Amino acid sequence: MSPNTPAPTRAESRLETIRTCMIETGMYIGDPKLLANVQWVSMGTGRQLRRMDYPNEPAVLCAAAMIAADDYYLTADGGWPDRVPGTPNIANAKATCIGTVAMSAPFRGDWETTRENLARLHELVSTTSNDGNGDAFYREMAHGTRLDIQLEHVLFKLRKQRQEVGIDYPSIGEWPVHSLTAREALDELNRTHYASPLIVYDFNGGRVAPDAYRGHLQCALAQIQFTLEQGECEGGVCEAHVKAIRVLRPPTLRGQRRQYTWTRWRMGPASVPEMDQI
């Protein structure tokens, strides 16, 4: 370090350490070696991006991104039914948001590599170009100076899909929603589905409850873990499914949009499974 170069702040050192840890996983989207560590594998009627060293395991990619204020629906009910009027069943509603790839230090130098990796991953699995037709899991915005990753999380799953043993999933009866319409729809869904909370950790490493996602995530810089899947083998939509989020820099109040008023419409907090932090 030059004598005239100021010493990194505690926050800068923390972000540099996190970046180093992401690179060491071999799954960081800003790593030039990423493509050598992953492969697309057929799975049923679609494809999934998997690890090269463990081909039976999905590749859990990691990125540092700013969670955008616009098109933010990473909430406990995904904004249903107001946001998705064409989706009559709340079981099909998804929590979604846009992650804009970080361009601040120490991630600034990884931006071009990230752009190349995303483009190549999409090219390998899609027969169509990234021209805004809706098939891509990412978009180049602002004349190619901004990278947006379309992220989503499935909130409700069929009971027969529950394979994890010993995990106490939240009861749908206690799941937070923002409208009576959603509450009534979930009461009907309780017979066939269970709630699947997104794993979110705040800046201090504490677990974030489903009714507090927005306050911690919208406009925050975050470390995001996600997998990639394509619904159909030929030309299907490629989706980025969020596995976990860790807040690296909390949002500012000025950057956040209006807050929903959340209510569980039931007494008692919703429980969440204990899992290792990112």
pLDDT for res 247: 97
Mean pLDDT of 140-157: 88
pLDDT for res 7: 72
Pick the residue with more confidence: 148 or 237? Answer: 148
pLDDT for res 131: 42
* In the predicted structure, residue 105 carries a pLDDT above the cut 50: yes
Mean pLDDT of 127-145: 64
Is 234 buried (19+), middle (13-18) or exposed (0-12) by CB count in 10 A?
exposed
Mean pLDDT of 143-148: 85
The pair of structure tokens assigned to 135 is: 């098939």
**In this predicted model, what pLDDT tens digit does every residue of 25-48 receive, in sequence order?**
999 999 999 999 999 998 877 899
* In the predicted structure, residue 99 carries a pLDDT above the cut 90: yes
* In the predicted structure, residue 20 carries a pLDDT above the cut 50: yes
Question: Using 50, 70 and 90 to split pLDDT, how confident is the model at 220?
Answer: very high
* In the predicted structure, residue 170 carries a pLDDT above the cut 80: no
Spell out the residues 6+ positions from residue 105 whose beta carbon is closer than 8 angstroms to its own.
12, 15
Question: Using 50, 70 and 90 to split pLDDT, how confident is the model at 237?
Answer: confident
pLDDT for res 169: 65
Pick the residue with more confidence: 75 or 130? Answer: 75
Please give the Cα distance from 247 to 167 (Å, whole number): 24
**In this predicted model, what pLDDT tens digit does every residue of 185-199 receive, in sequence order?**
998 888 888 899 999
Q: What is the pTM of this model?
A: 0.83
Measured CA angle at 33 (ends 22, 114), to 5 deg:
70
Lowest mean pLDDT among 138-142, 236-240, 262-266: 262-266
pLDDT for res 207: 95
- Contact of 72 with 214, CB cutoff 8 Å: yes
What percentage of residues in the chain have a pLDDT greater than 70? 78
Pick the residue with more confidence: 81 or 274? Answer: 81
